Amino acid sequence: MNIDDLIAIDVHTHAERSCRQPHDPIQAEFDAAATLYFKTAAERPTIAQTIDYYRERKIGFVMFTVDSEAGTGIRRITNEEIAEAAAANSDIMLAFASIDPHKGKAGAIEARRMIADHGVKGFKFHPPIQDFHPYDRMAWPIYEVIAEHRLPAIFHTGHSGMGTGMRGGGGIRLKYGQPILVDDVAVDFPDMNIILAHPSWPWTDEALSMALHKPNVFIDLSGWSPKYFPPQIIRYANTQLGSKMLFGSDFPLISPDKWIAAFDQAGFKPELREPILKTNAARLLFGADAAG
């Protein structure tokens, strides 16, 4: 991936349509509810279509699925499918793996294999959908592998658009999205860079405090249009946390085109445009020298 050739790096995109297996019927129920909540197109793109979409725009992207087999019963899109697509399209795409923490040591074995054999560059956790407390010891075997390889991990935080409006919220417990629950993970795994996904509403201030306090905690701004950001997000980006904020869209639920257009009107300092859209992510994903 040649950073200079890209206009941005989107650190938060979802694989929602496999090219190898039929769409899960339970996933289809969640998709229908998310379509209403996000006011987006009902038809989700395949992985191949997403690659074409981002390459046309010269935007690099990180893609992952969410392995929530224990929490929802949804058959996951395999990490291998995403990683193989990333390997074949490395000019534009990076793969993160997602492993249900309920898989414990078996999950840790899979994590090692995905790093060694498939070159994944990080991991994705969604505690509300995966139905686990982020500091639950069952997740530690996977965390230990991630920390050993000094890879980043994205944790969903805040409200969950998935499940909104469904009976019982689709079984999703919002409490596990509270950012401060990840603080103990940041303390005990200081070699694992943690990305708190989304503005974390209604616990936005917790995420800002953690990013300010912990060198290994970052925030991706996905899942919301910047025009709706809580004002403290913009205030802290413009002052103390400009190097800790990352562009993420939540594609396909929010498009990068609309997100960037709203970002340019949201009140961020002009000199933060390139860091937030690209160079902060480049340093986190590729190292200190990647962004020049």
Residues 6+ apart with CB under 8 A from 153: 122, 123, 124, 125, 143, 146, 192, 193, 194, 195
Q: What mean pLDDT is predicted for residues 94-115?
A: 97
Structure tokens at 235: 């205030």
How many CA atoms, within 13 angstroms, populate the side-chain half-sphere of residue 4?
2
pLDDT of residue 166: 84
- 89-111 burial, b at 16+ Cβ within 10 Å, e below that, comes to beebbbbbbbbbbbbbeebbebb
Radius of gyration of the chain (CA): 17
Q: Where are the domains of the chain?
A: 3-286
Answer CATH for 3-286 from 3.40.190.150, 3.20.20.140, 3.40.50.300, 3.90.1150.10: 3.20.20.140
Query: Which residues on neighbouring strands pair with residue 14, listed in sequence order?
Result: 64
CA 39/CA 17 separation, integer angstroms = 19
pLDDT of residue 288: 55
pTM beyond cutoff 0.75: yes
140-148 vs 104-118: helix crossing angle, rounded to 10: 20
pLDDT value at 33 more than 60: yes
CA 202/CA 158 separation, integer angstroms = 6
Amino acid identity of 190?
A: P
Tens digits of residue pLDDT in 121-162: 999 999 999 999 999 999 999 999 999 999 999 999 999 888
Whether residue 256 has a cis bond before it, omega within 30° of 0: no
pLDDT value at 27 more than 90: no
42 with 35: CB under 8 angstroms?
yes
